[in-house]
């Protein structure tokens, strides 16, 4: 995937920690650590959004919907 350049401003303490991780070869460069941090945050926000949408569901309605027509189908399944 093509990558785009951008400028990032951050406080000195955070930059010092980032540079320390790069110096210790935990990350190859500043860009990579920032890219991974942003990706992780986006993934986490995506999961939070899914959880909040799931919380809006009515469990009783969803259960009834899932079981709709199951009685007829269960009769057609082989016995185990």
Residue 47 lies in a domain: yes
Residue 1 lies in a domain: no
Q: Cβ contacts of residue 55 below 8 Å, gap of 6+?
A: none
In terms of Cα–Cα distance, which of 18, 16, 12, 13 is closest to 35?
18
Residue 20 lies in a domain: yes
Host domain of residue 30: 12-68
Question: What's the mean pLDDT in 40-54?
Answer: 88
Question: What's the mean pLDDT in 10-30?
Answer: 98
* Residue 52 near residue 46 (C-beta atoms within 8 A): no
Prediction pTM value? 0.60
Residue 74 lies in a domain: no
* pLDDT: which is higher, 29 or 79: 29
Residue 78 lies in a domain: no
Question: What's the mean pLDDT in 39-56?
Answer: 88
In terms of Cα–Cα distance, which of 41, 42, 20 is closest to 30?
20
Where residue 25 falls (left for φ over 0; alpha for ψ -120 to 50; beta otherwise) is left
**12/18 Cα distance (integer angstroms):** 10
Tally of domains within the chain:
1
């Amino acid at each position: 995937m093509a990558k785009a350049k951008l400028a990032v401003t951050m406080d000195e303490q955070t930059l010092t920690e980032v540079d320390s991780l790069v110096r210790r070869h935990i990350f190859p460069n500043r860009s990579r650590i920032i890219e991974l941090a942003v990706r992780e945050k986006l993934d986490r926000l995506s999961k939070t959004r899914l959880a909040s949408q799931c919380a809006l569901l009515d469990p009783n309605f969803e259960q009834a919907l899932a079981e709709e027509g199951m009685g007829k189908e269960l009769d057609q399944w082989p016995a185990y």
